[in-house]
Amino acid sequence: MNEPLAERLRPETLEDYISQTHLVGKNGSLTQQIKQGLIPSMILWGPPGIGKTTLANIIANQSGRPFYTLSAINSGVKDVRDVIEKAKKSGGLFTTKNPILFIDEIHRFSKSQQDSLLQAVEKGWVTLIGATTENPSFEVISALLSRCQVYILKAFDKNDLEALLNRAIEKDEYISKKNIELKETDALLKLSGGDARKLLNIFELLVNSEEGDVVTITNEYVLDRVQNNTVRYDKTGEQHYDIISALIKSIRGSDPNGAVYWLARMIEGGEDVKFIARRLLISASEDIGNANPTALVIANNTFQAVSTIGNPESRIILSQCATYLACSPKSNAAYMAIGKAQQLVRETGDLSVPLDIRNAPTKLMKELGYGDNYKYAHNYENNFAEQEFLPEEIKNTKLYEPGNNARENAHREFLRNRWKNKYGY
């Protein structure tokens, strides 16, 4: 029994595939394409242990195509070209059954490695399926991304993970021989961090550690038996998300000591410096925003700098940025405003733009009254003329509430002077 439980339980058909119903359920966006064998090149984006590799295998099996696989960790440009040549010979230029090339962790491919895929994808020599845990907008070159559909795989929920455990108990050749009572699952789910592969590996470890045939799984039993309780930083698993969360929450809480500690944990664990810089960039806007607009400038320059410099010197720049953000005044007003606005859009639909502020590039539009009563602000005192910019159905709605800090209090005073009592500033 050398094959791990996660491999033994890997589903081979869509019917056995757990979760991702938005993609492969009855009305999923990929379901009909897979059944018809009309598979586009795609990027599967989601957290680790969520079934990206499994889905790629199922697509290949159910569409009856040759299947080639590469790992971005240990493959170079030569490996890519060799596989493409094999794929061209096994497929053909004028067939819908062109081979599938699956590349795991495609975000780790360099620009030159990704460039080497372009012609094969464009010419249809292969159908590319790339798997990534990172945002493909940042990690996949635009030329390749434009030739692929991006499908987002959602994290497993508790029901999904418990279904995997029950499947192991009922169907696995070895596990099913034991009398297993699954009384509690919280500890197992917490230790796995939503990673199905990790969950099944821990579960198998627990079951095999019992000499008898009776195993009762409780939270206390799990915590007592599992020794190395993810104390080291795992940049592909749960700690990847927990520690970046701790870093951002330290910044949000104005604690530079916590921020630089969690930053050090990530750096020592070998985390991608661009990933850290992107999260700092988001925090600069989400948590600081207009309380200190310079924070966004510094965070953006940090991202550009670490992208150019790389390790080990990037740690200095990241530390400067993280401590600066932690020491900045905080406001989530802009973040809250766009959330309210998006919710309002979802609730009210596509409301018409008021005629007064529509563009009128043609004679007909001018005759229809487009822009007739628009007041050009610069023609008025203090460069301001009161008018309504929202659709009639939601007029006078206040979405932006400035935070209580020096800069945004100045914003509030400015808005109060301009809009008087209209919005209640």
CA–CA separation, 299 and 280 (whole Å):
6
pTM beyond 0.75, yes or no: no
Pick from 49, 67, 50: nearest CA to 58: 67
Q: Is the peptide bond before 312 cis (omega within 30 degrees of 0)?
A: yes
Q: What is the DSSP string of 28-91?
A: -TTHHHHHHT-PPPEEEE--TTSSHHHHHHHHHHHHT--EEEEETTT--HHHHHHHHHHHHHHS
Q: Which two tokens stand for residue 410?
A: 């100045």
Q: What is the DSSP string of 261-300?
A: HHHHHHHHTT--HHHHHHHHHHHIIIIIGGG-THHHHHHH
| Residues β-bridged to residue 103 | 70, 130
Note down pLDDT in tens along the chain; length 425 residues.
568 888 899 988 888 898 898 998 888 888 888 887 788 999 999 888 889 999 999 998 888 888 888 887 777 788 888 888 887 777 554 445 788 999 998 988 888 889 889 988 988 889 999 999 888 888 889 999 999 999 999 888 899 999 999 999 998 888 888 899 999 999 898 888 788 888 998 898 888 887 777 889 998 888 888 754 444 455 555 566 778 889 999 999 999 999 999 999 888 888 889 999 999 999 999 999 999 999 999 999 999 999 998 888 999 999 999 999 999 999 999 999 999 999 999 888 888 888 888 887 777 767 777 778 888 888 888 888 888 888 889 988 999 999 999 989 998 898 888 888 788 87
Residue ranges and CATH numbers for the domains of the chain are 20-152 (3.40.50.300), 158-225 (1.10.8), 238-326 (1.20.272.10), 336-419 (1.10.3710.10)
Q: Residues 328, 256: contact at Cβ < 8 Å?
A: no
How far are the Cα atoms of 18, 28, 37, 142, 391 from residue 153, in angstroms, in the given order?
12, 12, 20, 21, 36
